[in-house]
Amino acid sequence: MDATIITNIFGEFSAMAPMIIMIIGALLMPALYFTTKKRGVVGGALVAFILVSLAVNVILLLGGYVGTYAGLFQYDAFSGLMILLFQIVAFLVALVCTSSIEVTRLHYGAFASLLLGATTGMMFVATATDLVVIFVGVELTSISSYVLVAMKRNDPRAAEAAVKYVIIGGMSTALTIYGLSMLYGVTGTTNLAEIAVSLSTAGFSWAFGIAMITMIAGYGFKIAAVPFHMWAPDVYEGAPTPVSIFLATGSKKMGLVVFFKIFLIMFVAGASVASFATVEMQYLFAIIAAITMTVGNVVAISQTNIKRMLAYSSIAQAGYILIVMAVMSEYALTGGIFHMFTHVFMKGGAFLIVGALICAGIGEKITDYRGLAKRAPFLAFAMLLFLFSLAGIPPLAGFTSKFVLFSAAIYGGDGATSQWVWLAFIAILNSAISLYYYARVVKAMYIEKGTATDKIKVPKAFLAAIVICVAAVIVLGVFPQIILGPASEAAAALFSLV
Amino acid sequence: MFDLPEIPYLLTLLIVIPLIGAIVSLAMGGEKQKHAKTVAIAFSAVTLVLAVYLMLSNDYSVYTENYSWIETAGLKMSYILTVDGLSILMVFLTALLLFVVSIFSAHETDKPNYFFALLLAMEVGLMGVYMAGDYFLFYIMWEVTLIPMYFMISWFGGPRRHYAAIKFFIYTHVASLVMLIGIFALAFQAAQGGLVDFSFEAVLAGSGAFGETFQMLVFGLLFFGFAVKMPIVPFHTWLPDAHTEAPTAGSVLLAGVMLKMGSYGIIRVCLEALPQGAQQWQTIMFVVAIVAILYGAYACIAQKDLKKMVAFSSISHMGMVMLGIACLSDVGVEFAIFQMFAHGLVTAVLFMTCGMAGHNFGTREIPLLGGMAGKVPVYAAFMMFGFMASLGLPGLVGFWGEFGVIFAFYEYAYSIDMIWLIVFCLMSLMLTAGYYLWAMQRTLFGRLTDRIDTTHVHDVNKAEGIAMGIMCLMIAVFGLWPDLALSLISQYSTGLFGVI
């Protein structure tokens, strides 16, 4: 496909074309709701804007477009693919939020506007080549999400979740800006590539150490990496389910992209001239990854609320993806990107089912899911697929992406087995643990008998979104080539940024 | 055996036909569900015909299918299907047992469409495991067999089915994850930093890079993964639970072909790719094999539940397979494979008789039964036939497996000057004969029991009779003419250890 269709229209702003469309949408939504007062119209416009932006992005991506703007943004294979990921998340959320009973009717225009705004922030992070842009993008997303969580005003759980989220988020912002300023002090620049070059000749300094710690802590909150994970289950539980989907699959991925952008570029792309702290950082990340996946999985076992269980399992999944940060190879990044995509569909799908069932009056307790296979055969089967995919059972997408990701920990690039075999071992053991709590839900749905027997009806929009996720989980499992090819190009693009 | 014309995509058909059958059966909800059995019988019959056609063909190599599936800069996984002397009998056994249990379960009335869909889905996975020529495909198919079995036990099983199903699932899943690590190690080591190709062929070609320590470690990982499936004492505890709770068809498949996946894996992966590792582990293999044989046999004597007894006898007989493999000789492996095949045929009859005991008598408790021969003569005949075949009566199929394995073990014991080891094998033969005859005496003969109400006890019905009749015929045919199977196996096993 030729990218000139887009570049002719957007000219020198082509690198930001998908975001520009989203911003226009974000500005129009409140006005649209004010004039029409109809949720359906705003919902339709919301989906339309996301789809247009998605189309523009796909054309740019397939056209192999590479462009920069003002030395702050760069659109390449990596940013394009990540933008696509965020757009898919936004699309799934936008598709269902109109028909979800959890989303407020009062300020629907604001809701739609904030959703687009938050997505735009993520997309900016994906294209950023400068620390300042990363910071602004993350803040745009965070502030929008605080409001999204708090929108269910009358529900005390939502209010509690929002307050927790704001306080923790504020602290993480303070930490990151402190770290960024320290890093600026050490290197004298905020451009990622220049930082990498400058660090390759620098020696260790306390300022640098503090910068690293505060930045890992600050962005660790976004990923919900252990020990910065406490907020995630409360927030996911309290927020309206569509917003939980957005946070678990989108916002978390943004944190990971920040990690990839800052640390991979700083330590690996620049390491052609040997960076001094690479090995220490690798071990630090390996330990964080191991603890994150273990804590996530072990705590998930004792959960009785399905949203909390999914939240903890989401923490564990982030732990798996953090393997990329320990191995720091291009191949590992390919696996990481692949797993991020499959995670969107399987975790997003599972949350979608929870949201759909809430609309049908089913509670959030695992015990509420008893006998679901009789009452809603399709939903139960879809849930089964998502959970088995999360547990890594072939031939579903979760297995294939874990396979690539874990193999990256064993296959250390060029040569024999790498030093991260133990990490792969822990990850595989964790997969085994996770099967236990996923199987509990399956057992409740298929084997235990429920009290009610009437058929469940859920909104059509939810069904459509779930069907998309089911198709993706199966297709990506059997034909992983679809995403593996672009993912390896994206990884190569990120590594060649310096 | 014969020069038969080639059928295109025959191996893929063996996987796809049951898959279509499973989907069709699943779709037959509501009023149509009583026809699900017809669907299952039809689809498994077609698969059986194709499998027999394949077995009778002269040259399997023409049927190899090889398509690239996933290819990235560093990884290559392919869809490779292939058969040889080791897998062909397993493919035949899978197809045969599926056909037979479909007939046997014809009276299944509770959700039959799900029941038969699960059976056929299991066949998909089993066929895939036995025909895969790529580790990635092998692992996927290995796991595919797990899920239908889990549901089979937890939907259609006995009173403690939930516990048994989850125990089975987690136990074997953990084992297969350990196996996955072993597979990773094999593939990455064989690649030597180049393109990591997961096909069996590529791993074998790169096996020169497997050092001694590597072979020992990786053999351990893979052996653990396969041993749990087999199962080898002390990793057997899931098996009695799973068998006792599973429905008859599930038990037949579990014991008949699923346990064989473990021994198949040991031969296919451990012995072929890691011959030195096998040498280093040989003593341990002998020890676990003999422990399994004797422990299984002793445990049988103590069982009160007929089905649990047969389950423990499976542990004992799979120990015999392990013993043959541990000899690391052509004869040993040849008869180990034969024993796998023989046990698959015999155990099907045994589990069917146990299932009928529960169904027709209302109990499987041996102490509650007695004198049933007079009441249900046909049933008694089948049960005696099965027990005799299992204890190794010459002329039936069980005899050749045990005879060959003990011969190979004797050969090995002689070579290391420790002939007294053979005592263990003789003990096992005695114990086996002992527990079977004792169980038979207590259930079939003597005075008719008054501990259960025998007025409603009925004999074998038509479907059950046909199913058991086919199996008994096979036991007799392969017992009288073992060369029918051995000629196929020896194509594979001859020269296997010529190079060590």
With an 8 Å Cβ cutoff, are B72 and A403 in contact?
A: no
The per-residue pLDDT for A273 is 42
Could you identify the residue written with the tokens 């005696």? B384
CA distance A198 to A381: 54
Asked if A437 has any chain B CB less than 8 Å from its own CB, the reply is no
Rounded to the nearest angstrom, the minimum Cα separation between B110 and chain A is: 14
In 3D space, the residue among A144, A151, A13, A31 whose CA is nearest the CA of residue A70 turns out to be A13
Q: How confident is the model at residue B386 (pLDDT cuts 50, 70, 90)?
A: very high
For B1, the token pair is 């055996």
In 3D space, the residue among A330, A326, A267 whose CA is nearest the CA of residue B74 turns out to be A330
Q: CA of A335: which chain B residue's CA is closest?
A: B72
Query: What's the Cα-to-Cα distance from A320 to each of A218, A285, A426, B163, B489, rounded to whole Å?
Result: 19, 11, 10, 30, 44
CA distance B210 to B277: 10
Asked if A292 and A229 count as a contact pair (C-beta separation under 8 A), the reply is: yes
In 3D space, the residue among A116, A22, A125 whose CA is nearest the CA of residue A73 turns out to be A125
With an 8 Å Cβ cutoff, are A428 and B185 in contact?
A: no
Q: Which residues of chain B neighbour A430 with C-beta distances below 8 Å? A: none
Asked if B359 has any chain A CB less than 8 Å from its own CB, the reply is no
Q: How many CA atoms lie within 13 A of B258 on its CB side?
A: 30
Asked if A248 and A313 count as a contact pair (C-beta separation under 8 A), the reply is: no
Asked if B40 and B100 count as a contact pair (C-beta separation under 8 A), the reply is: no
Q: CA of B190: which chain A residue's CA is closest?
A: A416
In 3D space, the residue among B216, B221, B274 whose CA is nearest the CA of residue A429 turns out to be B221
**B475-496: burial string, b at 16+ Cβ within 10 Å, e else:** beebbeebeebbebbbebbeeb
Rounded to the nearest angstrom, the minimum Cα separation between A419 and chain B is: 13
Asked if A381 has any chain B CB less than 8 Å from its own CB, the reply is no
The total of other beta-carbon atoms located within 10 Å of residue B290's CB is 22
Regarding beta strands B65-71 and A73-75, do their DSSP bridges make them parallel or antiparallel, or are they unpaired?
Answer: unpaired
Regarding beta strands A67-69 and B65-71, do their DSSP bridges make them parallel or antiparallel, or are they unpaired?
Answer: unpaired
CA distance A462 to A204: 53
Tally A–B CB contacts below 8 A. Answer: 78
Kindly report the backbone phi and psi dihedral angles of residue A305, in degrees, each rounded to the nearest multiple of 5, phi listed first.
-95, 130
The per-residue pLDDT for B435 is 92
With an 8 Å Cβ cutoff, are B184 and A410 in contact?
A: yes
**What residue spans define the domains of chain B?**
280-500
Asked if A169 and A221 count as a contact pair (C-beta separation under 8 A), the reply is: yes
Could you identify the residue written with the tokens 């007025």? B455
Query: What's the Cα-to-Cα distance from B80 to each of B67, B71, B365, B444, B456, rounded to whole Å?
Result: 6, 14, 47, 49, 53
How many whole angstroms from its chain centre is CA A16? 20
For A73, the token pair is 């943004």
Cβ-nearest to A447 among B143, B154, B181: B154
Rounded to the nearest angstrom, the minimum Cα separation between B213 and chain A is: 14
Q: CA of B167: which chain A residue's CA is closest?
A: A436
Rounded to the nearest angstrom, the minimum Cα separation between B151 and chain A is: 9
In 3D space, the residue among B67, B65, B76, B154 whose CA is nearest the CA of residue B115 turns out to be B154
Cβ-nearest to B196 among A411, A415, A481: A411
In 3D space, the residue among B248, B306, B255, B257 whose CA is nearest the CA of residue B105 turns out to be B248
Asked if B147 has any chain A CB less than 8 Å from its own CB, the reply is yes
Q: Does B295 have pLDDT greater than 50?
A: yes
**What residue spans define the domains of chain A?**
277-498
**B411-446: burial string, b at 16+ Cβ within 10 Å, e else:** ebbeeeeeeeeeebbeebeebbbebbeebbebbbee
The per-residue pLDDT for B212 is 87
- With a pLDDT cut of 70, the percent of chain B lying above it is 99
Asked if B169 has any chain A CB less than 8 Å from its own CB, the reply is yes
Instruction: Supply the pTM of this predicted model.
Output: 0.83
For B390, the token pair is 């299992």
Q: Which helix (H) or strand (E) holds B77?
A: strand B75-81
Asked if A420 has any chain B CB less than 8 Å from its own CB, the reply is no
With an 8 Å Cβ cutoff, are B170 and A436 in contact?
A: yes
Rounded to the nearest angstrom, the minimum Cα separation between A491 and chain B is: 12
Rounded to the nearest angstrom, the minimum Cα separation between B111 and chain A is: 12
Burial label for A63, CB within 10 Å (0-12, 13-18, 19+), is middle
Residues 467-496 on A with a CB inside 8 Å of B are: 480-481, 484-485, 488
What is the mean pLDDT, run by run of 10 residues, along chain A of 498 residues? 82 89 93 88 93 94 89 91 95 90 79 94 94 93 92 84 91 93 89 83 81 91 89 90 92 93 77 62 91 94 93 94 89 92 95 92 90 89 93 89 87 64 88 89 87 86 94 92 90 84
Q: Does B261 have pLDDT greater than 90?
A: yes
Asked if B188 has any chain A CB less than 8 Å from its own CB, the reply is yes
With an 8 Å Cβ cutoff, are B140 and A429 in contact?
A: no
In 3D space, the residue among B326, B323, B189, B336 whose CA is nearest the CA of residue B271 turns out to be B326
The per-residue pLDDT for A412 is 61
Asked if B166 has any chain A CB less than 8 Å from its own CB, the reply is yes
Which string of DSSP letters, residue by residue, matches B194-230?
A: S-EE-BHHHHHHTGGG--HHHHHHHHHHHHHHHHHHT
Q: Which residues of chain B neighbour A480 with C-beta distances below 8 Å? A: 70
Asked if A429 has any chain B CB less than 8 Å from its own CB, the reply is yes
The per-residue pLDDT for B496 is 81
ipTM over 0.90: no
Mean pLDDT over B301-306 rounds to 91
CA distance B418 to B34: 60
- Render pLDDT for B422-462 as a digit per residue (tens, 0 to 9): 898 889 889 999 999 999 998 888 888 878 877 778 888 88
Q: Which helix (H) or strand (E) holds B79?
A: strand B75-81
CA distance A254 to A260: 10
Regarding beta strands B65-71 and B75-81, do their DSSP bridges make them parallel or antiparallel, or are they unpaired?
Answer: antiparallel
Asked if A449 has any chain B CB less than 8 Å from its own CB, the reply is no
Q: Does B367 have pLDDT greater than 90?
A: no
Asked if A331 has any chain B CB less than 8 Å from its own CB, the reply is yes
The per-residue pLDDT for B500 is 42
Q: CA of B176: which chain A residue's CA is closest?
A: A432
Burial label for A365, CB within 10 Å (0-12, 13-18, 19+), is middle
Q: Which residues of chain B neighbour A395 with C-beta distances below 8 Å? A: 140, 144
The per-residue pLDDT for A58 is 93
Mean pLDDT over B21-25 rounds to 92
Asked if A39 and A108 count as a contact pair (C-beta separation under 8 A), the reply is: yes
Asked if A198 and A187 count as a contact pair (C-beta separation under 8 A), the reply is: yes
In 3D space, the residue among B268, B276, B267, B284 whose CA is nearest the CA of residue B211 turns out to be B276
Beta bridge partners of A130: A191
With an 8 Å Cβ cutoff, are B180 and A410 in contact?
A: no
Asked if A425 has any chain B CB less than 8 Å from its own CB, the reply is yes
Asked if A209 has any chain B CB less than 8 Å from its own CB, the reply is no
The per-residue pLDDT for B289 is 93
Q: Does B264 have pLDDT greater than 90?
A: yes
In 3D space, the residue among B358, B443, B407, B399 whose CA is nearest the CA of residue B158 turns out to be B358
- Render pLDDT for B340-363 as a digit per residue (tens, 0 to 9): 999 999 999 999 999 888 888 888
DSSP B7: P
The total of other beta-carbon atoms located within 10 Å of residue A209's CB is 14
In 3D space, the residue among A450, A474, A448 whose CA is nearest the CA of residue A382 turns out to be A474
Asked if B318 and B232 count as a contact pair (C-beta separation under 8 A), the reply is: yes
Asked if B174 has any chain A CB less than 8 Å from its own CB, the reply is yes
Asked if A418 has any chain B CB less than 8 Å from its own CB, the reply is no
Residues 230-289 on A with a CB inside 8 Å of B are: none
With an 8 Å Cβ cutoff, are B193 and A416 in contact?
A: yes
Q: Which residues of chain A neighbour B180 with C-beta distances below 8 Å? A: 428
